[in-house]
């Protein structure tokens, strides 16, 4: 029983004739080992591709060279003159939310 357990751990349950294969004790992987290796390799490949495309989506503007503060400069109603940071409205919250307060409460 001990011999079968040891052979099972090494993936050699069946005697394949080492004399005819001339392996001389070199450990060859079984088809189950190659199957597992192939699936693990593809799983890692797809996992890293998934992470790569997620990062590309998050940093699309940075990779394109778009300034991250650009959306603040052209925000609707944030400036008295569009795109001029010196004319920023201080009453932005009151301007947009105070007229709707009775509906929100």
pLDDT digits (tens, 9 = 90+) for 14-44: 665 555 555 555 567 788 888 999 999 999 9
- The answer to whether the CB of 95 falls within 8 A of the CB of 77 is yes
What's the burial of 17, exposed, middle or buried (CB within 10 Å: 0-12/13-18/19+)? exposed
pLDDT tens figures, 58-83: 888 777 776 666 665 566 666 667 66
Prediction pTM value: 0.37
CA angle 25, 30, 36 (to 5 degrees): 135
What integer pLDDT is reported at residue 101 of this predicted model? 59
Please tell me the distance from the alpha carbon of residue 71 to that of residue 5, in angstroms, as a whole number.
Answer: 66
Please tell me the distance from the alpha carbon of residue 97 to that of residue 80, in angstroms, as a whole number.
Answer: 17
């Amino acid at each position: 029983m001990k011999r079968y357990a040891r052979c099972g751990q090494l993936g050699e349950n069946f005697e394949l004739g080492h004399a005819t294969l001339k392996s001389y004790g070199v450990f060859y992987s079984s088809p189950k080992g190659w199957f597992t290796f192939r699936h693990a390799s593809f799983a890692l490949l797809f996992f890293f591709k998934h992470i790569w495309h997620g990062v590309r989506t998050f940093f699309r503007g940075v990779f394109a060279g778009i300034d991250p503060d650009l959306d603040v400069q052209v925000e609707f109603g944030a400036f008295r003159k569009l795109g001029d940071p010196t004319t920023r409205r201080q009453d932005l919250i009151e301007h947009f939310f105070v007229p709707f307060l009775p509906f929100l409460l």
